[in-house]
Structure 1
Amino acid sequence: MTTVFIKGLGLIGSSLARAIREGHPDFRILASDPDPKTQEYALSQQLADQMLPGLEGAEGADYIILAGPVDAIKADIRQLSQMDLKKGALVTDVGSVKQAIVDQAQALTKKGVDFIAGHPMAGSHKTGAWAGRALLFENAFYFLIPASQAAGKRLPELEDLLKAARVKWLQLTAEEHDKIIAQISHLPHIVAAGLVNQTEDTFAGQPLGTRLAAGGFKSITRIASSDPTMWSQILLNNSEDILKQLAEFQAELKEVAREIEAGDEAALYDFFQKAKISRDKLGPDQVGAAPGHYDLFVNIPDQVGALADVTRLLAEAGISIVSLQILEIREEIDGVLQLTFAREADRQQAKEILAAYEMKK
């Protein structure tokens, strides 16, 4: 019987467990997680056939998935390299930084163990095993970086293991991955957190300012709610790329400050115009959506029952909502409701239903 061992049953690890269970119901899944509540939940929901401490279940596994924070993944790889793993075992991970993990994985490669670094570009505002779902990854990019030529030949094998995740596979180098993700994910998280902290300091002793920080401010700083432990480790493990891109962003801000000080309206116009053109190319319906998620923005009137009308219409159509958020609501002015769906088909159907609803208002 094929055995899969998963270390870490948070949002990503538990979602992979669900996908493997769906795609390979005959496979045996062993798992490890330090949280007693997660252990109990995993067994009750059949995410795992057995929960084990540490890496105890890894030695006899055909596939080993490391789904903890980056530093934990590196420590697990070091420990695995000292263990007598099953012949032909394939090891992979889900970390947000790849070069540091691939470098660490050379300890496995030297022992003849195949390692394929992985990173599913999917997430949720929710955390923990109970937030996981097999469809979390649907249509999301899933990066794969083989640590050796031998491991590269086993890419189809790993893709088959996770076939029920329905992802878009993308192979690239660890260097390419870390540079791209530093710019489109790591830097935005720093900017969002910095803006929230600076706003908190600015409005110290002036609670009205914080209360008014809604609408666009809440939208662009949403990712500042991310896990501090995870993001501290990500920044330290991808420091070279992040420091370079952070310096370039700081230079951009200094240039804007210079243009404001000089009263250079033409330069400021060009600054915003360039950004508008670039952002619009991303697509108005998809920009800002998490990979694997599909966002729909709906104008709703500031009336009693307006939100209930929207959710009722979608429920009657059998459309499941991943999350919803009111981006802006003021008296006598339409608010903007952001609805997130797991499937593009759901988003499109909801768009048609709610377009008819908006016309009636």
Structure 2
Amino acid sequence: MQQKIFVIGLGLIGGSVALAIKNEHPNTTIIGYDRDEEIANQAKILKVIDDMAESIKQGAVDADFIILSIPIFETEKVMEELALLPLKQSVIITDTGSTKKSIMKKAALFIENGITFIGGHPMAGSHKSGVVAAKRLLFENAFYMLTPPEHTNMTEQVNQLKHLLAGTKSKFIELTADEHDEMTGILSHFPHIIAASLVGHAKKYQEIYPLLQRLAAGGFRDITRIASSNPHMWTDISLRNKDVLLQLMCEWKQEMQKIEQMLIDDEYNKIYQFFANAKSYRDGLPIHTKGVIHSFYDLYVDVPDYPGVISEITGYLAEERISITNIRILETREDIYGVLRISFQTIQDREQAMVCLKNRTNYELFIQ
């Protein structure tokens, strides 16, 4: 039976979900809608969708599945709009948002009318954005969180949704909205706030130390990469998960006060244990698994800093059709071997690049 899939929001995530569904279920018809008509046209030209809807109502009323892939505040508004439409009684609605508690609270609008809503959050991203960056395997081996409404039996509908999304090749995990928001708050939302605050703290000293910005090009820039994320998206996330974040901030301040007292008292052993415990836990984290924050697969190449070296390296990689996401010469190299850092989308791309450069150059290669 040919099913209609309606995707609302045709950016990186929505586009990638659409491509994965079409690849796994070629007989489905994927209808797309985006508030920016040019983006919807682009998605159709790129064959991310089969056709475009002129309005949410036009695409939703005949849909078998509806996927909301838009910012959280917009998602909640669209959910209110969908709840007023004559949808199919068998339709399954899901989203791709980074917080779930407020979304699942809004889902009561559907549940009271016998319509299925299952929260969703594919935990993968990219350094690129927009429908042009959409990839069929963006979510491969990533965790895909599903949050069915509590105190309901939706096993059959959850299985239907998993079947639809099988082409993402994700690892599906079912949990409550509270569990989702607490874990993503700890591992993603709070770290983004910390990274942004570290950057803001450094910026305050810029006028005092003009050299600061150049020195920050090394390790500081690396540990604060996530501060370059979309500010609109992170404003939405922060406000929608504020209860969790406020609790984490309280605990963080208590932890910093303990460290402060250790420093005041010159507690060598306690300070050492603080760093040792962090190292032990961090070193035990999975290396090849996609987590809440998307990974950076970097390769460091120890090359002389001379004109043409970047074009030489990228030329070799281009010949073997290896895609890179970023490349730059490092001016400061504290704790880093290699002056040239190349970033890749996947670990497979990085491994292929290592083989390529080992075969073609005498440069030393390092993975941090």
Length-normalised TM-score, structure 2: 0.88
**Distance of aligned partners of 1:101 and 1:335 in 2 relative to their CA distance in 1, 3 Å threshold:** same
Q: Give, in angstroms, the shift of residue 330 of structure 1.
A: 4.5
Q: Match of 2:99, SS?
A: coil
Name the counterpart of 2:160: 157
**Distance of aligned partners of 1:297 and 1:283 in 2 relative to their CA distance in 1, 3 Å threshold:** farther
Name the counterpart of 1:107: 109
**Distance of aligned partners of 1:42 and 1:2 in 2 relative to their CA distance in 1, 3 Å threshold:** same
Aligned-partner residue type, residue 67 of structure 2: I
Name the counterpart of 2:339: 335
CA contact (8 A) 1:214 1:327 kept: no
Question: Which of 74, 81, 90 is equivalent to 1:88?
Answer: 90
Which moved further from structure 2: 134-143 or 184-193? Answer: 134-143
Name the counterpart of 1:249: 252
Q: Match of 1:143, SS?
A: strand
Q: Give, in angstroms, the shift of residue 335 of structure 1.
A: 1.8
CA contact (8 A) 2:124 2:291 kept: no
Name the counterpart of 1:11: 12
In structure 2, distance between residues paired with 1:23 and 1:357: 38
Q: CA RMSD in A?
A: 2.5
In structure 1, distance between residues paired with 2:327 and 2:278: 25
Q: How many residues are matched?
A: 357
Q: Match of 1:190, SS?
A: helix
What CA deviation, in whole Å up to 9, does each residue of 1:19-65 have, x standing for no partner?
12222222222221112331221121122212322443111100000
Q: Give, in angstroms, the shift of residue 352 of structure 1.
A: 4.0
Name the counterpart of 1:347: 350
CA contact (8 A) 2:123 2:292 kept: no
Name the counterpart of 2:229: 226
Q: Give, in angstroms, the shift of residue 244 of structure 1.
A: 1.0
Name the counterpart of 1:196: 199
**Distance of aligned partners of 1:277 and 1:71 in 2 relative to their CA distance in 1, 3 Å threshold:** same
In structure 2, distance between residues paired with 1:55 and 1:126: 30
**Distance of aligned partners of 1:341 and 1:289 in 2 relative to their CA distance in 1, 3 Å threshold:** farther
Name the counterpart of 1:122: 124
In structure 2, distance between residues paired with 1:285 and 1:18: 24
The answer for unaligned runs of 5 or more in structure 2 is none
In structure 2, distance between residues paired with 1:249 and 1:327: 35
Q: Match of 2:191, SS?
A: helix
CA contact (8 A) 1:118 1:143 kept: yes
CA contact (8 A) 1:302 1:329 kept: no
Name the counterpart of 1:181: 184
Q: Match of 1:85, SS?
A: coil
Which moved further from structure 2: 105-114 or 305-314? Answer: 305-314
Residue 146 (str. 1) matches residue 163 (str. 2): no
Name the counterpart of 1:2: 3
What CA deviation, in whole Å up to 9, does each residue of 1:233-255 have, x standing for no partner?
11111111111112112222222
Name the counterpart of 2:170: 167
Q: Match of 2:211, SS?
A: helix
Aligned-partner residue type, residue 59 of structure 1: V
**Distance of aligned partners of 1:298 and 1:231 in 2 relative to their CA distance in 1, 3 Å threshold:** same
Question: Which of 67, 70, 80 is equivalent to 1:68?
Answer: 70
Aligned-partner residue type, residue 167 of structure 1: S
CA contact (8 A) 2:16 2:135 kept: yes
Aligned-partner residue type, residue 161 of structure 1: L
Aligned-partner residue type, residue 200 of structure 2: N
Q: Give, in angstroms, the shift of residue 127 of structure 1.
A: 1.6
Q: Give, in angstroms, the shift of residue 105 of structure 1.
A: 0.4
